[in-house]
Structure 1
Amino acid sequence: MTKSFFILLIIFLYIINAYEGALVGKTDAYIEVHVVDALPNNDIPLTFHCASKDDDLGYHHPQVGDDFHFHFYPKLFGHTLFFCHFWWGNKQATFDVYTYELGTNCSWDKSAIEYCYWKVQEDGFYMGPSLNEVKKMHDWN
């Protein structure tokens, strides 16, 4: 029993070390999520509310072109999740704006910061590593 425990402990420590090494030894690595209002005009205002299990980021009422953004430090083993609920006139949508899996649509810079952009448009929601490199992810309901 003791030998099995010792082997499991070594494997666990190896995984932790590999995870930290993936962050290039940076303890200040974080993820930054942007939500940009790219709707056609301000006649019908956009409203959205974002949160995670631990953090409520509140309600936001941006103007066209505004960039609401937040950052966080990822949890070990990729369990971080942020979601948002959007309203625009009689349309609405709710979905995850960050999960570990969605991170493949984001980009890392040399200082170990991951950037994820959401672009809210009349025909839906687009995500990518920058505002110029987005793909459609969701429609309005």
Structure 2
Amino acid sequence: MNFWHGMTTSWQFWAMLSALAAALTAIFAKLGVKGIPPDVATFIRTLVILAFVSTLLCISGQFALVKSIPRRGVAFLILSGLATGGSWICYFRALDIGKAGQVASIDKLSVVLVAIIAFLFLHERLSLTATIGVALITIGAICVAVAD
């Protein structure tokens, strides 16, 4: 197995790219939301994502798979989409008012909330090390958010 294949099949690789993209999202959104109503900015962002993912599905030939998704999966993906939309609307409103670093730090409390919700509803357990990490994320996010 070559290095590139090993990297692209690693969840850590894709998670780091996601973190980089999320960081760029905050910076570009903060620059873009200036003088534009946050809901309009969210709409434009959504159109771009729709076009981007549609193109990806066309190129990869995955559009045909959409009709074979089980109803339960579709239901949860719809709920996820609604949650994403709500998150984006709130995120853009926060960026319109606050500093990008502070908004992003509070947004990253989603990591903490995922750990709590996954524990309560998915019965996922955290190791002691992971629990300490979640606590540190909480403390770090609050420190960044209240700093001037």
Please report the TM-score for the alignment, with normalisation by the length of structure 1.
0.24
Please report the TM-score for the alignment, with normalisation by the length of structure 2.
0.24
Q: Per residue, is there more helix in 1 or in 2?
A: 2
